[in-house]
A and B are shown apart, each in its own frame.
Chain A
């Protein structure tokens, strides 16, 4: 599957991050109900409408339990939606795709595989060239500061290091659409900031489309073109905020009043909902 843009969107190259009908990802009237073991119905996602343009960076913030992971699981193709239309690159979403990379909320490494072998899982599963992508895997590991840990086992790594291995695994097969579920939650503040810079650089250089779930409002604003704000019970989108701060963004920008205005605008939702988050 290629996510090459249609001739239409190629002509509107002036605004590559369009949200018109040529959007890479189109989610319309998405509903998700879970049925629990004791027969209860949980309305996890209600009337979710969202379009994500090619090469756009979108962040999702929202309190615990508002359906962020659920939305990502649907987009990654492992969870069947209750109803609604989801198309990716013009095709109805039916299942997992090699063009999608997923960073999970937990690292989910296989303990009997070394760090390198864990990163190589998508390459192996998709039958890609081991040598070419092996070199890429080593590069990615070096980029996240794990050079020299290639032959260690997950149990020999700290939680934050394991999470970084999970990030490399999502990137190794060079997917054009990246889904990230709180990828930096387990990292210390300093590593987290440098990972944020690194992610911004990867996104700029590779033109990937990224959907990032985070608990940190400043992180969401710093990285995204748009921030999607969700609230729980039932999980729905309450606002989508355009972040028109200039790029490339510097970490020092976080102290400017412009940046602060975005943070305040987002935080307002959680204060009014009575859920203080981040």
Chain B
């Protein structure tokens, strides 16, 4: 290992240690304050109670089941919404006619709050997972659409001219420059969409469901099980962070020419 690599390894280790220490102090402080001030569990449960509740919930099998249901809704909705957004984005970016025909409806659709539409969708598609998938898809759709359109129009004119002087066809210009230039934008869209998808699934479950983490939260709330509610909230945020992390990882691998700060590296 070179000196510089050794240095960076040390800094990384230090950062991890610092993060862990901060977390432990936070948890410890929380526990101490709740015990010291004698806060009722129904207001704010101590971390220890949450830990116990999560073990109970997990061993009863309910946690895994409801997490799987919500995961399914999030992923299917995300896929459906992103693919639709991506395809329509291509159509609109490539055809001014498609833009004139579809765009007004899309804007109108986007201005309607999805939470307000959710009850209708539940009535149409029932209390099962399909209504949640649809609600999630309507939310994941727009970030992909907007970013795909912007990305496909982002190619610098001089790169296009360079290809045209090499006698490139329209299709070659699209494949060699427009598409790669759109990728960073598409990933921004995916990142926004995946986080919104988690919210979408939970909103759908709040409106009416028979399973899922949103359903579980409502149940715990009705039975005044505060530690149980917290367990679900923690699972949800871990889920969100994990999905975001997967997208970021793919982004760093696929759109490798853009540096971390989001700064464009033009290379020219």
Contacts and interface: CB of A to CB of B under 8 A. Distances in A.
B253 to A, nearest CB: 12
Given A110-B180, A155-B257, A96 B268 contact: no
B168 A125 contact: yes
Given A108-B158, A112-B257, A154 B165 contact: no
A117 B263 CA distance: 23
B257 A96 contact: no
Given A106-B158, A110-B177, A155-B265, A78 B257 contact: no
Given A111-B267, A121-B176, A102 B165 contact: yes
A97 B267 contact: no
B54 to A, nearest CB: 44
B226 to A, nearest CB: 51
A251 B176 CA distance: 40
Interface string A1-19: 0000000000000000000
A153 B257 contact: yes
Contacts of B164: 77-78, 96
Contacts of A125: 163, 166-168, 172, 176
Contacts of B177: 110
Contacts of A255: none
Nearest to B164: A78
Interface residues of A, number: 28
Contacts of A234: none
A147 B66 CA distance: 58
B140 to A, nearest CB: 26
A104 B162 contact: yes
A160 interface: no
B168 to A, nearest CB: 5
A22 interface: no
B48 interface: no
B267 A154 contact: yes
B166 A154 contact: no
A112 B256 CA distance: 8
A111 B165 contact: no
Contacts of A122: 166
B166 A78 contact: no
Which among B165, B176, B265 has the highest number of chain A CB atoms within 10 Å?
B165
A102 B267 CA distance: 18
A252 B180 CA distance: 47
A132 interface: no
A109 B163 contact: no
B196 to A, nearest CB: 28
Nearest to B257: A111
Given A111-B257, A121-B176, A153-B257, A106 B268 contact: yes
A211 B207 CA distance: 71
A68 to B, nearest CB: 16
B237 interface: no
A162 B267 CA distance: 8
B223 interface: no
A107 interface: yes
B219 interface: no
B165 A78 contact: yes
B267 A109 contact: yes
A155 B168 CA distance: 24
19 contacts: A77-B165, A78-B165, A98-B166, A102-B162, A107-B268, A109-B267, A110-B159, A110-B176, A110-B180, A110-B267, A111-B267, A111-B268, A112-B257, A125-B163, A125-B166, A125-B167, A153-B257, A154-B268, A155-B265
Interface of B: 158-159, 161-168, 172, 176-177, 180, 256-257, 265-268
Q: What 9 A-B pairs have minimum CB-CB distances, sorted nearest first?
A: A111-B267, A154-B267, A111-B257, A122-B166, A125-B166, A125-B168, A76-B165, A108-B162, A102-B165
Given A97-B167, A162-B267, 19 more contacts: A73-B161, A78-B164, A96-B167, A102-B162, A102-B165, A107-B268, A108-B158, A109-B267, A110-B159, A111-B257, A111-B266, A111-B267, A112-B256, A112-B257, A121-B163, A122-B166, A125-B176, A153-B267, A162-B268
